[in-house]
Amino acid sequence: MARTNSTTRNEALLSRLRAERRPLVMGILNVTPDSFSDGGRFIDPEAAIAQARRIQGEGANLLDIGAESTRPYIGARPVSLNDELARLQPVLRPVIALGLPVSIDTIKAKVAAWALEQGAAILNDVWGLQRDPDMARVAADHGVPVIVMHNREVPDAALDIMADVKAFFSRSLDIAAKAGVAQRCIVLDPGIGFGKTPEQSITMIARLTELRSFGLPLLMGLSRKRFIDFLSPSKPGERLGGSIAGNVLAALAGADIVRVHDVAETVQALRVMNAIKKAWPPA
């Protein structure tokens, strides 16, 4: 039933992903106490809903909500199924009611299924369908777009990171196909900062165009990430300049979605970028 009721909405969203000339902006809403950038700020349901309204008002096209920190290898605490649901229950439906397509950021298939049943429109799995064996089935059952992110437990500086990302995505696509997830429903995210050294994250951004070989939309989630601190020492809330620079370059390299904390600033930067691109003289 969920698949039948959501097919038209999800096909429209996928068509929009393919048709937009500039990247869609996905605003981040963390209802967690320990996210690396804004942990605790929106754990209160009223604060979370107010932030969702702000994200919408600043021009976001999509909203990504998560109730368990997935910050890479720096001490994020696992969250039980019940606790994750308890954080989402007072927030998810009011946020969905605002009208933005909502993505559920979770590594638990049961949380994903519940959120999609409430009306979430996208599934965002930071383990690329390779951690919870039921995740691909949930995506297939609901017929929703699914964001497949590359991840590793720990970084390996000796690794050919581009080869590792491509091999990971090939495995994820195989899992998706076997579960019945339509390939047109998949968005690829190289997972900046996840299981990567800062140098490898920079490499991924610089070589993003190589992932075009998969023929799928690409998402870039580099907002406030640690590689910026590596290049210019700064706390997460002080990394706006680096985030804007990275997102503009990612957009020029072909990113279809940018996942960001600073929505208004990113929307403005992408509008300026797009206007300048249109004014470029012919090559």
**Could you give the CA distance from residue 138 to residue 168 in angstroms, rounded to a whole number?**
20
Query: Could you say which DSSP state residue 76 is in?
Result: P
Q: Residue 186 in contact with residue 140, Cβ under 8 Å?
A: no
Q: Decide: helix, strand or coil at residue 230.
A: helix
Instruction: Return the structure tokens found at 7.
Output: 């097919």
Residues 6+ apart with CB under 8 A from 54: 263
Per the listing, tokens 């930067």 go with: 269
The catalytic residues are 225, 259
The amino acid occupying position 47 is A
φ/ψ (deg, to 5) at 29: -130, 105
Instruction: Return the structure tokens found at 43.
Output: 């754990």
Residues 6+ apart with CB under 8 A from 248: 269, 270, 273
Instruction: Return the structure tokens found at 84.
Output: 């994750």
- Tell me the H-state helices in 159-212: 161-179, 198-206
Measure CA of the first residue to CA of the last residue in the chain; give whole Å.
51
Q: What are the C-alpha distances in Å from 35 to residues 40, 65, 70?
A: 8, 12, 7
φ/ψ (deg, to 5) at 176: -60, -45
CA neighbor of 94 nearest in space, from 43, 41, 53 = 53
Q: Residue 181 in contact with residue 142, Cβ under 8 Å?
A: no
